[in-house]
Structure formats: structure tokens, C-alpha cells
């Protein structure tokens, strides 16, 4: 088990009606004036925004609002939010929404405490030294941003999507009210499930040797998501299933699922699939992050598994109950060909990847890049951003080149 530093300072307030306690929980943290940040209007339509504002009023917390954060949030609105936060002298940024509203809020929180342009952080020209605190009301379990150290922002003018990781990004408070997620459209629910599973897999397939305590947490989180997802698809108001997904989403990305699997001082995971996906949603911000991952992850897996087949066998065993056939134990009299040990491993790993991909597709996620509107001629457009964000060589499970990335994209078309 590798050395690690686990830091998850976010206080999570979880349960039915938690949304109505936002004001008292924000007040308990000592804040007096909030910048509420929200998306394209779902929280207006569902009444969540009104509930949050009412509870802030009751707790004597003042607030100003910034709406209109789009999925794959853009830096221009972040700049607007920084001006507003300064002009209104807020002491906390309060996103009400998903990863897009939260990341916009995190970027505002960093930018308020910086004299230069906030994009400097994302272009790696500056390192943040301070931030306004962020408190979150989560409406979609997916990104894990409510407790993560990440913040991901698009820059349309430069056709880039860049992330920064710093503990300054970790929210101080997360209000997790599963009932807020009853209104999620099936596609967003499914994309969220895909994203949270991907956050665990990025860490599981870090290339580092097994860590049983973390592997059991990781595979347990994934099994819980796989169990709950079809239940919410059948009944969007299934509280228990929604609640399980919400908690998986948080634990999948607060660092718990990577303890001991990272190389100290570096990220706790491989994160190539996230890198490959972020270029898709940089090229076309209409692409939902989780939907991109549903296509990229299986393609990456088929490309790299031979590097550490034992990790795939462990994953297949724990998540799907798939074992390689064993000629000593299994009755293979129906099979004409000889099953070598290599062939048994190959078949078990490919079956595991098929099972994972079929699960994503069963939820309504795409199987191919074509379904996301990406064609062969688009692949070259993804490369400059990938080179900026990941460099010429990247990946820890298997080191890849930009040509390998082209190959993975092509195999996903």
C-alpha cells in the first residue's frame, strides 16, 4: 500500500428535507452573506431555489444570485461572478445544482481572492493561494464536486476545458437531500451514475498494486451504484435508491476510493479517461461528461488491460462475479478449442468490459462516439487540447502517447 494523505473536510448534511435546513447550516459555519450560483433553471422550476432562499431568510443570511451556469461551465460567467461577489462583499459562495454550478462557484471563490484573471489558474500560469469558502446544495449525484478537490471550467474562445486540483477547492459544507434528485431526467441520472463509477475506476486502475481495504471500498461503491441505478430508472421517486446513489457519488470522488493506490505527490489514479472525455466536452459543450465517459472508458480498457490483467480480473470478480474458466474445475466438454490460461484471462477480462459497457448502455448511455456527434475527422481537433492538458505522454496504468489516444478515440467511433 502506497503512502497517502487523505483530507476530506466537507461536512455532509444528508437526508430528507436537508435542503430546508440550508440556512441554519450555513449560519452554523459562521457565514452571513452568500452568492447563490445556479444553472439553467431546473432549481427554479423544481422550487429548490425558493426553498433554499426561504431557509436563508429564516436564518438571517443575506444573498445575491447568479443564474445561468450551463453544463460544462464557461469562464466568462465565472468572471461575472467574481465581480458580483466582490461588489456584494459575500463571505460564502453557495452553488445550488450539480458539478457545473459547483465548479463555477469554486472558480469564483478562487478568483475573488486573486488579483489577476482567474483563467491563469486553469492555464497553470498561477497557483491559487486562498479562496472564499464554498457551501453546496447538491441536486444531481454525478461529479462528486461537492467534496472533491477539483474544479473544471471550459474556455470557449480557446476551445479548452481545464481542471485544477487543490484542497482549497474542497467545499466546507454539502447539503445532500436525495429528494431533490427525484426530478432528474433519466439521461442525466444515467450520466451521473456513469461518472461516479468512473471516478472509482480511475483510481482502481491506477497501475499500482492491489490495496484490499481500498479495493473493497471501491468495488462496494460500484456494486451499490449498479444495484440502485435500475431502481431509479424504474421509479425516479425511489428514495432509498436515490439516497444510495447520492452517497456513492460523494464517496466516489472525495479521495476515499484512492487511498494507497496513488503515487505520493501525484494524483490518486490514472485519469486518462477523464482527460480524453474533457476534450470531447471542450469541442462540443453539449456533450454530457458522463455520456462521454460511457464511451471512452470501455475503449480505453480494451486498449490497456494487458498491462495489468490481474486488476481487471479482480474488478470482474468483485463487481460482476466473473471468473476465468479453469480447465481443472470447469466442465469444458462442450467447447471444441483448447482453453489456455491466457485465453481464459482474455475471455474473462473482455467479458468484464462487455458487462460494464452493456450496463451503461442499459441505462441509456451511448456506446459510440458517433452517437455523441463525433466523427473521424473530429479526432484531430481533440489533440491540441489533449496535448496542453495531458502532455505528450500520460497515464499511469499504461503510459500512452497522443497516437495511442487517437487509436482509442478511433476504436470508439
d(CA 325, CA 388): 43
Taking the CA atoms of the chain, what radius of gyration do you get in angstroms?
21
Q: Which is nearer to ligand NZQ, 292 or 316 (CB)?
A: 292
Of 10, 22, 55, 181, which lies in the binding site for ligand NZQ, with binding defined by CB under 6 A?
Answer: 181
Decide which of ligand NZQ, Zn ion, none touches 68; Cβ closer than 5 to 8 Å per partner kind.
none
Q: Does 289 bind ligand NZQ (CB under 6 A)?
A: yes
Distances in Å between the alpha carbon of 180 and those of 51, 62, 223? 11, 23, 23
Decide which of ligand NZQ, Zn ion, none touches 214; Cβ closer than 5 to 8 Å per partner kind.
none
Q: Does 25 bind Zn ion (CB under 5 A)?
A: no
Of 148, 244, 272, 357, which lies in the binding site for ligand NZQ, with binding defined by CB under 6 A?
Answer: 148
Antiparallel, parallel or unpaired: β 160-165 and 150-155: antiparallel
> Judged by CB under 6 A, which stretch of 19-27, 37-45, 232-240, 375-383 contacts ligand NZQ?
37-45
The DSSP H or E segment spanning 400 is: strand 400-401
Q: Which is nearer to ligand NZQ, 153 or 344 (CB)?
A: 153
User: Contact, 369 vs 412, CB < 8 A?
Assistant: yes
Q: Does 279 bind Zn ion (CB under 5 A)?
A: no
Q: Does 177 bind Zn ion (CB under 5 A)?
A: no
Q: Does 103 bind Zn ion (CB under 5 A)?
A: no
Supply the DSSP string of 4-23, one letter for each residue: ------PEEEESTTGGGGHH
Q: Does 144 bind ligand NZQ (CB under 6 A)?
A: yes
Distances in Å between the alpha carbon of 289 and those of 19, 41, 276, 367, 372? 26, 19, 11, 14, 11
Q: Which residue has the cell 461503491?
A: 221
Q: Which is nearer to Zn ion, 199 or 311 (CB)?
A: 199
Strand order in the sheet with 92-97: 11-14, 173-176, 135-138, 92-97, 33-38, 62-66
> Judged by CB under 5 A, which stretch of 72-80, 133-141, 194-202, 226-234 contacts Zn ion?
194-202
Fill in the per-residue mask, 83 to 122: x = in contact with ligand NZQ (CB under 6 A), - = not in contact: --------------xxxxx-x-------------------
Of 131, 203, 242, 253, which lies in the binding site for ligand NZQ, with binding defined by CB under 6 A?
Answer: 253
CB atoms within 10 A of CB 330: 13
User: Contact, 91 vs 132, CB < 8 A?
Assistant: yes
Q: DSSP class of residue 258?
A: G
d(CA 180, CA 252): 20
Alpha carbon 211 to chain centroid, angstroms: 22
Of 22, 55, 150, 254, which lies in the binding site for ligand NZQ, with binding defined by CB under 6 A?
Answer: 150
**Among candidates 203, 197, 214, which has minimal Cα distance to 142?**
197
Decide which of Zn ion, ligand NZQ, none touches 144; Cβ closer than 5 to 8 Å per partner kind.
ligand NZQ
The DSSP H or E segment spanning 122 is: helix 119-122
Q: Which is nearer to ligand NZQ, 287 or 345 (CB)?
A: 287
d(CA 213, CA 1): 10
Tell how many helices (H) and how many strands (E) occur in the chain: 15, 10
d(CA 53, CA 176): 16
Q: Considering the complex, what minimum distance in angstroms separates the CB of residue 314 from ligand NZQ?
A: 23
Which position's Cβ is nearest Zn ion? 195
Q: Does 208 bind Zn ion (CB under 5 A)?
A: no
User: Contact, 102 vs 145, CB < 8 A?
Assistant: yes
Q: Considering the complex, what minimum distance in angstroms separates the CB of residue 326 from ligand NZQ?
A: 38
How many residues make contact with ligand NZQ (CB under 6 A)? Answer: 35
Fill in the per-residue mask, 193 to 222: x = in contact with ligand NZQ (CB under 6 A), - = not in contact: --x---------------------------
Q: Considering the complex, what minimum distance in angstroms separates the CB of residue 180 from ligand NZQ?
A: 5
Q: Does 170 bind ligand NZQ (CB under 6 A)?
A: no
Task: Give the interface with Zn ion as residue ranges (CB under 5 A).
Answer: 195
Task: Give the interface with ligand NZQ as residue ranges (CB under 6 A).
Answer: 39-43, 46, 71-72, 97-101, 103, 139-140, 142-145, 148, 150-152, 180-181, 183-184, 188, 192, 195, 253, 274, 289-290
Amino acid at each position: 500500500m502506497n503512502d497517502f494523505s487523505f483530507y476530506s473536510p466537507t461536512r455532509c448534511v444528508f437526508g430528507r428535507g436537508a435542503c430546508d435546513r440550508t440556512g441554519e447550516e450555513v449560519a452554523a459555519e459562521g457565514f452571513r452573506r452568500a452568492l447563490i450560483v445556479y444553472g439553467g433553471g431546473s432549481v427554479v422550476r423544481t422550487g429548490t431555489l425558493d426553498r433554499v432562499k426561504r431557509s436563508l431568510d429564516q436564518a438571517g443570511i443575506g444573498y445575491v444570485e447568479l443564474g445561468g451556469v450551463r453544463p460544462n461551465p464557461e469562464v466568462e460567467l465565472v468572471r461575472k461572478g467574481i465581480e458580483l461577489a466582490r461588489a456584494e462583499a459575500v463571505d460564502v459562495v453557495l452553488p445550488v445544482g450539480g458539478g457545473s454550478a459547483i465548479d463555477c462557484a469554486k472558480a469564483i471563490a478562487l478568483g475573488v481572492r486573486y488579483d489577476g484573471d482567474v483563467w491563469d489558474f486553469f492555464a497553470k500560469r498561477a497557483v491559487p493561494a486562498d479562496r472564499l469558502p464554498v457551501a453546496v446544495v447538491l441536486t444531481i449525484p454525478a461529479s462528486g464536486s461537492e467534496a472533491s478537490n477539483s474544479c473544471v471550467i471550459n474556455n470557449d474562445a480557446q476551445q479548452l476545458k481545464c481542471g485544477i486540483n487543490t484542497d482549497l477547492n474542497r467545499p466546507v459544507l454539502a447539503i445532500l437531500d436525495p429528494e431533490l434528485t427525484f426530478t432528474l431526467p433519466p439521461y442525466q441520472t444515467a450520466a451521473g451514475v456513469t461518472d461516479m463509477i468512473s471516478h472509482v475506476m480511475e483510481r482502481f486502475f491506477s497501475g499500482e498494486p492491489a490495496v484490499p481495504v481500498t479495493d473493497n471500498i471501491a468495488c462496494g461503491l460500484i456494486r451499490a451504484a449498479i444495484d440502485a441505478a435500475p431502481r431509479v430508472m424504474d421509479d425516479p421517486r425511489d428514495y432509498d435508491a436515490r439516497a444510495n446513489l447520492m452517497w456513492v457519488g460523494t464517496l466516489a470522488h472525495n479521495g476515499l476510493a484512492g487511498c494507497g493506490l496513488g503515487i505520493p505527490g501525484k494524483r490518486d489514479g490514472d485519469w486518462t479517461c477523464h482527460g480524453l472525455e474533457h476534450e470531447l466536452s471542450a469541442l462540443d459543450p453539449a456533450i454530457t461528461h458522463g455520456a462521454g465517459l460511457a464511451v471512452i472508458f470501455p475503449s480505453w480498457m480494451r486498449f490497456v488491460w494487458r498491462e495489468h490483467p490481474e486488476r481487471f480480473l479482480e474488478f470482474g470478480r468483485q463487481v460482476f462475479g466473473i471468473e476465468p474458466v479453469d480447465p481443472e474445475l470447469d466442465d469444458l466438454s462442450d467447447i471444441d478449442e483448447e482453453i489456455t490460461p491466457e485465453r481464459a484471462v482474455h475471455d474473462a477480462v473482455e467479458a468484464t468490459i462487455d458487462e460494464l459497457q452493456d450496463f451503461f448502455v442499459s441505462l441509456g448511455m451511448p456506446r459510440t462516439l458517433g452517437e455523441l456527434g463525433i466523427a473521424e475527422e473530429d479526432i484531430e481537433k481533440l489533440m491540441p487540447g489533449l496535448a496542453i492538458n495531458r502532455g505528450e505522454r500520460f497515464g499511469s496504468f499504461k503510459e500512452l502517447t497522443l497516437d495511442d489516444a487517437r487509436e482509442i478515440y478511433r476504436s470508439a467511433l
